[in-house]
Amino acid sequence: MRFIKWWFPLAAVVLLAAVVLLAAAALALDQYQAAAAPPADYVLVIDPGHGGADGGAVAADGTLESDINLDIALRLEALCRFWGVDAVLTRSGDDIDYPAQADTIARKKVADQHARLALINGTPGAVLLSIHQNKYPAASPHGIQVFYGPVAGSDQLAVLTQGNLTGQLCPDNRRVAAPADKSIFLMKNAQCPAVLVECGFLSNPDELLALQSDTYRTKLSVVLLGSYLQYIRGLQA
């Protein structure tokens, strides 16, 4: 009897210690897996603005915004594939399949925007990055600017991306991340964190020259990917 009295509390303490240790080990393993695993919970949806019947802004030399957007997007998508980052494009070329009833440019644009939105909102874990170029009647305005949608996290991604783009590519840039205008369909209706990057002004001769360079477009895509990875790793930390 005396032995049993003595043994029971000890067994209970040992058992409790084992449970606590196992729980701690399981927790540590979970934390280790979260840190080591590729960011599989998120999908970068890369949206090269315009395309098909809609060339977007046009530079004085005829350069189309839609072509520059697509080139940056394809470079970014190639980097994602290289690094094992899940990504999808809303378009991968300049041809867009429009429904038969979309018989005017305006209707084609609307049909295309709705198709892109369906892809974005149908992608679990989506983070939208829309790529555009700016244009102004005067030549002097310049600088990269990032705009963000209303869903939580969008502003955080925009501020991060704006800081990285400015720091790495245009340290004198005074533009700051700002809310996207409500008239921008994808920014307004995407149900995920969403940013739109105006990579430069086609109306500014220096920026047009930079945007026409392969090296500069690669740099843009590298900084965009780095910013996205910082953002989703921050969410997983």
Decide whether 199 or 232 has the Cβ nearer to Zn ion: 199
Contact 203, 59 (CB under 8 A): yes
Do 154 and 194 meet the contact criterion of CB atoms below 8 Å apart? yes
- Residues in the site for Zn ion, rule: CB under 5 A? 49, 56, 132
List helix spans (H) across 122-201: 154-169, 185-189
Cα distance between residue 188 and residue 41, in whole Å: 23
Q: Which residue is nearest to Zn ion (CB)?
A: 132
Residues 6+ apart with CB under 8 A from 199: 68, 72, 131, 132, 133, 134, 144, 211, 220
Q: Using the minimum distance from each CB to Zn ion, give the nearer residue, 51 or 193.
A: 51
Nearer to Zn ion, 56 or 143 (CB): 56
Q: How far is the CB of 56 from Zn ion (least distance, A)?
A: 4
Choose between 199 and 210: whose C-beta lies nearer to Zn ion. Answer: 199
Minimum CB–partner distance for residue 28 and Zn ion (Å): 47
Least Å distance between CB 164 and Zn ion? 21
CB of 84 vs Zn ion, minimal distance in Å = 30
CA distances from 213 to 68, 91, 142, 218 (A): 10, 22, 17, 9
